[in-house]
Structure 1
Amino acid sequence: MNIKFYKYQGAGNDFVLIDHRQAPLKTIDTKAVAQLCDRRFGIGADGLMFLLDSDKYDFEMVYHNADGNLGSMCGNGGRCIVAFAKYLGIFDTETNFLAVDGPHYAKISAEGNWVELQMIDVDSINIDADAFVLNTGSPHYVKEVTDLETLDVYTEGYNIRNNETYKANGINVNFVERKPDHLFVRTFERGVEDETYACGTGVTAVAMAMAKKQRQIGQVVTPVTVLGGNLEINFRYDGEKFTDVFLCGPAEKVFEGEVSL
């Protein structure tokens, strides 16, 4: 059967989206999702999302990694599905939706291309040698480096993601370099098993780790540059807990079409 799909991207993090409110697919297996996300033999994407009806919220987000498996929370995916839901007429400017890590609030600009997504509160950051480890809806490893432009992110990220500590469950690996007016971040994502152009939960984790490292207390606004563009992370930090966390950035429809499944 032919299924309608939409392609969205947020700072270069790209996704296939399917409106599943009328359940056009009875089942879809891991192999089929992976093929749709394949950049040579499918549509091509960092992940695939289904938008479902929800009894208590405006909609529900179900996210699959590019390898086909169900994934943990995806921040840029969350921003893209918010833009998609607005496009579908599900809400106007503000929404509450359900994701794998719980409910999320979001608001979108009148033009529909700037999304501010509330992320989960975080009250625990662990230390692994010279790196930080925390969960912002997905698990993240954050390491500060110099000369990030030339770093072999694939090799370094792959080795950390697959070391004895993290290989069982996997972890997303973020490298950050502090610039005068922003953070520059590059990320190796589990599930994609490669570097991506952006990672929303990743840049959120990086901003929190750097705030802790620099003892930034109070309202913190962090501009971040990734390979795919610019994002902004806002939160309050009291020295122990991060609250009122927002991941802000662009989310745009690239194209739409039909695919046979």
Structure 2
Amino acid sequence: MKEKIQFFKMHGGGNDFILIDGRELKAPFENEVIRRLCDRHMGIGADGLMILGESDRADFRIDYFNADGYAAGMCGNGARCAVMLMYKVFDAPRQCTFEIQGEIYEAEVKTNEMVQLKMQPFQILHRPEELQALCTEGIQKMLWVDSGVPHLVVEITSSLDDLDVNAMGAALRYHPMFEPQGTNVNFISVKEEGWLRVRVYERGVEKETLSCGTGAVACAVYASLQFGWESPIMVESPGGALVVVFDRDWQSIYLLGPVELVFVGVVFPEFFKSKKEKR
């Protein structure tokens, strides 16, 4: 890179992202560069990077990378941030479509802070009875769901506040049952009917994050199937609350929540040099 690159820092419920207009890039970022950009000490710091580009099938395209530098699938909170940025800065329509990993999603900017996505139908990967052997002390039931990316939903009987999410999350994320790609892990408890609390261990970030959009959808699926809850379902994480709205047969699923544009900055060309080049 020979020029400065403008970036936007945004978050949805504390799940934070670097967003860059990819139409201005001369070449794609290497994995090492993405990891350093997302590093909270040596870079900007984020749970992931979103590159915005053109699409022949939608209003724009999103290429999403986790903090580990590797491309990932759907990211609900990151996509909501991208929709707001495209609307506020790049004049995309309030109701828009975007492409990510070959899938087309519909979205709407509801207010200056709230963005709603229409999600794809979910797929159940393993039902609770198939996961019973993993239910150790303090765990009630589990459900493995693909809500854009794989999510293991774990209903716990112990205190959610006292849970060691990073230790328990890593153990389940890398469990042989979920090989080869592993899984995100969502630990849930019931606050009241229609209202879940959740803490999330995110694959690709490899630690707890403050919120997860696709995870919220997976948690709502669990509550609907296990508790018989009807729409809407609120999913509260340490970073804030998301709302999942759905019809009776789960063919129309919507994820609604706030996003915030925190700051705008530039990355200087020297940052893109490898360690070897800097010597």
Q: Do they superpose with TM above 0.5?
A: yes
SS in 2 for 1:31: helix
Whether 2:150 is the aligned partner of 1:139: answer yes
Q: Which amino acid aligns with 1:71?
A: A
**Take 1:106 and 1:26, find their aligned partners in 2: how far apart are those partners?**
28
Aligned to 1:169: 181
**Take 1:144 and 1:126, find their aligned partners in 2: how far apart are those partners?**
15
Q: Which amino acid aligns with 2:181?
A: N
Task: Please tell me whether the aligned partners of residues 175 and 182 of structure 2 are also in contact (alpha carbons under 8 angstroms).
Answer: no
Aligned to 2:53: 52
Over 3 Å off, 4+ runs: none
Please report how far the alpha carbon of residue 167 of structure 1 lies from its aligned counterpart in structure 2 after TM superposition.
Answer: 4.3
Please report how far the alpha carbon of residue 237 of structure 1 lies from its aligned counterpart in structure 2 after TM superposition.
Answer: 3.2
Aligned to 2:258: 250
**Take 1:101 and 1:126, find their aligned partners in 2: how far apart are those partners?**
25
Report Cα offsets for 1:80-132 as digits up to 9, x if no partner.
11011112233231101111151000111242x10001111125352222310
Whether 2:185 is the aligned partner of 1:183: answer no
Question: Relative to structure 1, is the Cα distance of residues 210 and 101 closer, same or farther in structure 2, using a 3 angstrom cutoff?
Answer: farther
Alignment of 1:216-235 (within 5 A): 216=229, 220-235=231-246
Listed as ranges, the gaps of 5+ residues in structure 1 are none
Q: Which amino acid aligns with 2:262?
A: V
Whether 2:207 is the aligned partner of 1:205: answer no
**For this pair of structures, how many residues does the alignment match?**
254
Higher helix share: 2
Task: Please tell me whether the aligned partners of residues 177 and 183 of structure 1 are also in contact (alpha carbons under 8 angstroms).
Answer: yes
Aligned to 1:6: 8
Task: Please tell me whether the aligned partners of residues 62 and 100 of structure 2 are also in contact (alpha carbons under 8 angstroms).
Answer: yes
Task: Please tell me whether the aligned partners of residues 73 and 101 of structure 1 are also in contact (alpha carbons under 8 angstroms).
Answer: no
Report Cα offsets for 1:22-65 as digits up to 9, x if no partner.
3x231210000000000000000000000001122110010000
**Take 2:258 and 2:225, find their aligned partners in 1: how far apart are those partners?**
26
TM-score by length of 1: 0.93
Q: Which has the larger radius of gyration?
A: 2
**Take 2:111 and 2:90, find their aligned partners in 1: how far apart are those partners?**
13
TM-score by length of 2: 0.88
SS in 2 for 1:84: helix
2:168 to 126, 134, 156: 156
**Take 1:101 and 1:186, find their aligned partners in 2: how far apart are those partners?**
29
Listed as ranges, the gaps of 5+ residues in structure 2 are 133-140, 273-279
Please report how far the alpha carbon of residue 214 of structure 1 lies from its aligned counterpart in structure 2 after TM superposition.
Answer: 1.5
Please report how far the alpha carbon of residue 162 of structure 1 lies from its aligned counterpart in structure 2 after TM superposition.
Answer: 1.1
Report Cα offsets for 1:149-179 as digits up to 9, x if no partner.
1111111000001111124211000000001
Moved more, 126-135 or 201-210: 126-135
Whether 2:27 is the aligned partner of 1:26: answer yes
SS in 2 for 1:204: helix
